[in-house]
Chains A and B, each alone.
Chain A
Amino acid sequence: MRLLALDTATDCATAALATDGVIVVERARAAPGAAAREVLALVDDVLAAGGVGIGDLDGIVVGTGPGSFTGIRIGMATATALADAASLPLAGVSTLTALCEAAPSAAVAVIDARRREVFAAGPDLAAAAYDPATLAATLRPGTTLVGDGAVRYRDIFAAAGHAIAADDDPAHRVSAASHLRLARFDGAAAVPTYLREPDAVPREGAR
């Protein structure tokens, strides 16, 4: 059973390959605003490192966000097309859930959502967009936070007594290996998780 996973919802694009539940190789590339465009090169890297081609896979796993809208779409369009072209099943894993998976237990995942907001989720926290200060006040003091949103608003979260590892700690980066451990090929469609509505106002009297 060979599975490929990729995630491009954050500024760190990631891809990984697993054989029979063992992570064979993982690659990541950090590039603010541009990481998602590297994803197919990452996919080629991990397949080459694992000595396999697309046709040798049994399934593909994709991070469904939340994060950058464009990043989510590039990753999901890539994964969907790869799966369609190679007739493989596709499974989606929430990017927030993947962040939690790799973190210490009971950690809350926090992804930068721009516009002075973060997307966050945790054991007792529903996935949603939050104002950092509101989120800091909502969480039980001493909560461990991971993700680029935790790093960006470190001051706010630290002031509320929450624990955040050093900026370069790998716990803050989404890892496609997490997706491989979490994926369930149960036939459910992979659906993008935007957690924010598009900015658009219906015109008056529109039908």
Chain B
Amino acid sequence: MILAIETSCDETCAAVVDGSTVYSNVVSSQALLHGRFGGVVPEIASRRHLELVSSVVRAALDDASVRLADLRAIAVTAGPGLVGALLVGVAAAKAYAYAAAKPLVAVDHLHGHVASLSLDEEPFEPPFLCLLVSGGHTLLLDVTGPSRFTVIGRSLDDAAGEAFDKGARLLGLPYPGGPAIEQLAADGDPGCVPFPVAMAGRRGLDFSFAGLKTALATRLRDQAAAPADMAASYQAAVVASLVLRTEQALEATGARRLGVVGGVAANASLRAALNRLGERRGVAVKAALPRYCGDNAAMIGAAAAHLVPVEFPDFLQIDAYARAALGVESSVGW
């Protein structure tokens, strides 16, 4: 069993995981705290992580009826993310590992999202193409092994989740924007207001969402559409752009299987659109279970199962990092 800790953004998380079995998964969201700022404030997030981290860890151990002594290792997200936030989890994880005389596993947050696909009764094993869509990332990954993947496409500006947050702001909806837009869009007509499909004419597998936000601002000013129709049309435009690039990536890689992970993967219209894409192309599509889409520590524990634990004192060298590790990121110019 592994105790995993995740504090890369605005969720303080801890989980106890053994392979694909999740014994506990505690997520303390700060969304309400950051809502009045319209986005995550790093210093506020870091302060909150410190207030919560040990009680979240304690809750994860208690929920699983596990003692530190029973663990094989402790895992923690080292990056990418907000460094000040990550450092709280890394410091706590090192101290737990030291006090309990357990090895430590440093996990890449993106690897964690990919590994969320294995937290299921029917785990989805590599190789597959993975669409990772969240508030911080929009990536197409060529996943070749349980801890090996290459970035083949990414957003050049906003992440898909940010596109929802910024769109929600323009629509007068609260943060986080994805669930708010999805809720409002449920009663709207996605074909009511035409939007361009971002990057449709551009080569490569990269995404761009900044233009959609501008298009929404213009349409809100110039067109008298009902808010639900506007939200549904905007959501459809974000989804269309994700589906377009995903289809091009399937074509480019010849992948027969597609995984979908990250907070935005919980969006029902995206899931439906990708399922339709899979049916059309004869590709098996698997989205992470909704409870493992948003940031959580269970996925970090799942990723850690495939990494080598580091013993004391070597694990003292583990440090938090803000950006995706070199070697993991490499863009292929299709």
B46 touches A207 (CB 8 A): no
- Majority secondary structure of chain A interface residues (helix, strand, loop or mixed): helix
Instruction: Let me know if B109 is at the binding interface, CB within 8 A.
Output: no
Query: A85: which B residues are within 8 A, CB to CB?
Result: 68, 95-96, 99-100
- Expressed in whole angstroms, the Cα–Cα distance for A201 and B312 within the complex equals 42
Nearest chain B residue, comparing its CB with the CB of A81: B95
Query: A78: which B residues are within 8 A, CB to CB?
Result: 91-92, 94-95
B46 touches A81 (CB 8 A): no
Instruction: Let me know if B146 is at the binding interface, CB within 8 A.
Output: no
B168 to chain A, nearest CB (A): 12
Instruction: Let me know if B54 is at the binding interface, CB within 8 A.
Output: yes
- Expressed in whole angstroms, the Cα–Cα distance for A199 and B45 within the complex equals 12
Stretch from B34-42, B187-195, B295-303, B321-329 that touches the partner: B34-42
- Best-buried of B36, B50, B87, B99 by chain A (most CB within 10 Å): B99
Stretch from A25-33, A68-76, A105-113 that touches the partner: A68-76
A74 touches B91 (CB 8 A): yes
Pick from B95, B169, B174: contact of A82, CB below 8 A: B95
Known contacts A40-B316, A41-B313, A200-B37; A81 and B43 CB within 8 A of each other: no
Known contacts A41-B316, A206-B35; A198 and B94 CB within 8 A of each other: no
A199 touches B43 (CB 8 A): yes
Instruction: Let me know if B291 is at the binding interface, CB within 8 A.
Output: no
B43 touches A69 (CB 8 A): yes
A53 to chain B, nearest CB (A): 9
Query: B112: which A residues are within 8 A, CB to CB?
Result: none
Query: A40: which B residues are within 8 A, CB to CB?
Result: 91, 94-95, 98, 316
B96 touches A200 (CB 8 A): no
Instruction: Let me know if B58 is at the binding interface, CB within 8 A.
Output: yes
Interface size on B, residues (CB 8 A): 36
A202 touches B98 (CB 8 A): no
Pick from A73, A82, A199: contact of B87, CB below 8 A: A73
Instruction: Let me know if A131 is at the binding interface, CB within 8 A.
Output: no
Known contacts A40-B98, A70-B84, A194-B47; A77 and B91 CB within 8 A of each other: yes
Instruction: Let me know if B88 is at the binding interface, CB within 8 A.
Output: yes
Q: Which of A182-207 contact B (CB under 8 A)?
A: 192, 194, 198-203, 205-207
A207 to chain B, nearest CB (A): 6
B88 touches A69 (CB 8 A): no
Interface size on A, residues (CB 8 A): 33
A206 touches B54 (CB 8 A): no
A200 touches B95 (CB 8 A): no
- Expressed in whole angstroms, the Cα–Cα distance for A85 and B97 within the complex equals 9
B38 touches A206 (CB 8 A): yes
- Expressed in whole angstroms, the Cα–Cα distance for A141 and B44 within the complex equals 38
- Expressed in whole angstroms, the Cα–Cα distance for A202 and B33 within the complex equals 11
Query: Interface on B for A, CB 8 Å cutoff?
Result: 35-38, 41, 43-44, 46-47, 49-50, 53-54, 57-58, 68, 84, 87-89, 91-96, 98-100, 169, 172, 174, 312-313, 316, 319
Query: Interface on A for B, CB 8 Å cutoff?
Result: 37, 39-41, 43-44, 54, 69-70, 73-82, 84-86, 192, 194, 198-203, 205-207
Closest 7 CB pairs of A and B: A85-B99, A81-B95, A198-B43, A203-B38, A206-B36, A77-B91, A200-B41
30 contacts between A and B (CB under 8 A): A40-B91, A40-B95, A40-B98, A40-B316, A41-B313, A44-B312, A69-B43, A69-B84, A70-B87, A73-B87, A74-B88, A75-B91, A77-B54, A77-B88, A77-B89, A79-B95, A81-B53, A81-B54, A81-B57, A84-B96, A85-B96, A85-B99, A192-B47, A200-B41, A201-B37, A203-B37, A203-B38, A203-B169, A206-B35, A206-B36
User: Knowing that A76-B50, A81-B53, A199-B43 are A-B contacts, what are 13 other residue pairs whose CB atoms are under 8 Å apart, sorted by A's residue number?
Assistant: A40-B91, A40-B94, A44-B312, A70-B84, A77-B50, A78-B95, A81-B92, A81-B96, A82-B99, A86-B99, A200-B37, A202-B36, A203-B169
